[in-house]
Amino acid sequence: MRLFIASIFTVGLLFLMLLTLVFTIFYITGFIEWYILIGLTIFLNFLFWLVGPYFSDWIYRFFYHLEWIEIEGLSKRNKDVADFVRAACRKNNIKVPKIGYINDDNPTSFTYGSAAFNARIVFTEGVFTYLKPNEIKTVFAHEIGHVVHRDFIVMAIASVIIQTFYEVYRISISILRTRGGGRKNKGKAFFIVTAIVGYIFYIIATYILLYLSRIREYFADDFSARETRDPNGLSSALVKIAYGIVKNPEDKKQLDLLKSTRAYNIFDFKIAKTIGLAYCNAVEEKKWSPVEGAILFDNYNPWAFFSEISSTHPLTGKRIEKLSEIAKELRLRPMFNIEDLYTKYQVDKKRLYRNFSVDLFFLLLPILLMIFSIIFYGITIGVPQEIRTLEVYVTSTQLLIKNIIGIILASLGIGYFIKTSYSYSTKSGFPKTDIADLMDDIYTSPVKGRPNSLKGEIVGRGVPGLIFSEDMMFRDSTGLIYLNYESLIPFFGNLIFALTKVKDLVGKKCEIEGWFVRGLSHWIELNKIYVDGKEIKSRVRLLGIIFGLALASIGAFIFFYI
């Protein structure tokens, strides 16, 4: 409930969408006119833009014990950082933002407000725990960049446009439902087109807003790098922030803070696991190769684009790539030179796109097979030239629908069976390797798992402290990685495993077999765990095969026997 309320007041978008829905219902039921509905949407967005920051202040003080320390309090923590904030604000002709502090070990910072006149910058204790003074300076510069660029106003206007598209769609649907026949039906085609276009624009605009959000993060990074003349400091800060988020236990209060500030945080906590674990493994190995592999994946693997498309923040590797370009402009040596890494790891773009094409084919195979099967069936059966009676027409139609349903289920099932066999292949066995080698492999994907066998220790649950978590954290001599367990009985089997087995496995030396997959995060889909002379089986592959065969069998039964 706390996160729900916090999300409403701090993000605002859900609250506004709810009001939009209410007023749309008022319009449909005849209480208000369409122009009043549009006007109310604009007015409410303006009102929330103006007073929203004060609601957010209350939320953060009440739930997360936010303290307003102002610039004087920041000066007590680090005078150099405070002096930089004052100088940067003076240089860019903005008021020094209100400075807030939250005693939370997760390193994060965020800014919010209506405009420069009432901007706030909030940071957590974790920022000073994990970052060096020069890195802290770049983090504050990033937040000042959002204020200077008037991001609050831009995002508010974009949100109004998105809501307007949705209201155009709803109004058009309402008119179509309430209009009768005759002359009133003349404009029906117009409202059908308007409804379709309005909804399509609403979906497209939502992704444009996410793109705009990612762009504003790039510009805030650019501002920080140039204002501090330390792009490398921000690069290392981003990596360490991700590391701090991964390292800290995900207790509910900390997780709520990260979720409620996700859109305007310096870092999307959902992306943190990839680069955070990579840095953790780099610390273990005392070399940068795991982080370098993650950066190359973000910049060159085609799957990275799909991982990023629904995120409010760019992938960390792409942000670091932009910062490395700025470092070159400033005649500094980049912390991570992407061109040098490309040469060092001999990145094969042809192989990347070849693998991507094959993966995409198998990912879409169930749908492609369904479409092909329906077309083939239609060509084979043809269209009856003569239907003499209504009874024959009804019977033919029912038979056609029944057969098409059978074909759809059977083709989807066969396609899913083939896709599962491709994604979790056992042809090459499970070669012995280590986590560092897996992390360095930029050719992996979220579709085709890389078979592997690792020796190490299960060190905890996937979500620390959550007794219902069946997933686990595994460590070998080169690093850490998440393990995903799947029971033969979805949900209930996983719950029983979490409650009865995981606790006993923590701290045990073991050998695992599975498939390494990589997307927005990376993990191992388990096949088997060998521990204390026993074998524990995970059923991710078998579940996919059973589901595919079951669906195909049901479809065949409907087609041939019903």
SS3 assignment for 95-113: CCCEEEEECCCCCCEEEEC
Question: Which residues lie below 8 Å from residue 543, measured CB to CB, with a gap of 6+?
Answer: 486, 488, 490
Which one, of 304, 303, 328, 334, lies nearest residue 316 by Cα? Answer: 304
Q: What is the pLDDT of residue 205?
A: 79
Q: How far apart are CA 253 and CA 2, in angstroms?
A: 9
Q: What is the pLDDT of residue 394?
A: 53
Which one, of 244, 279, 275, 250, lies nearest residue 107 by Cα? Answer: 244
Q: What is the pLDDT of residue 460?
A: 86
Spans of all domains in the chain: 1-347, 435-531
The position carrying tokens 């103006």 is 50
- Regions in the chain scoring below 50 on pLDDT: 1-15, 18, 25, 29, 181-183, 385-388, 390
Q: Is 537 helix (H, G, I), strand (E, B) or coil?
A: strand
Q: What is the pLDDT of residue 388?
A: 45
Give me the sign of the Cα torsion angle 304, 306, 307, 311: positive
Q: Write b or e for each residue in 377-389: b if 16 or more Cβ atoms lie within 10 A of its Cβ, otherwise e.
A: beeeeeeeeeeee
Longest dimension (CA), the chain: 92
Give me the sign of the Cα torsion angle 296, 300, 301, 307: positive
Q: What is the pLDDT of residue 278?
A: 86
45-58 pLDDT per residue, tens: 677 777 778 888 88
| Crossing angle of helices 133-148 and 188-228, rounded to 10° | 140
Q: What is the pLDDT of residue 512?
A: 97
Which one, of 137, 127, 310, 130, lies nearest residue 213 by Cα? Answer: 310
Give me the sign of the Cα torsion angle 146, 149, 150, 153: negative
Q: How far apart are CA 12 and CA 59, in angstroms?
A: 12
Which one, of 200, 118, 114, lies nearest residue 154 by Cα? Answer: 114
437-485 pLDDT per residue, tens: 998 899 999 999 999 999 999 988 877 666 777 889 999 988 889 999 9
Which CATH class name applies to 435-531? mainly beta
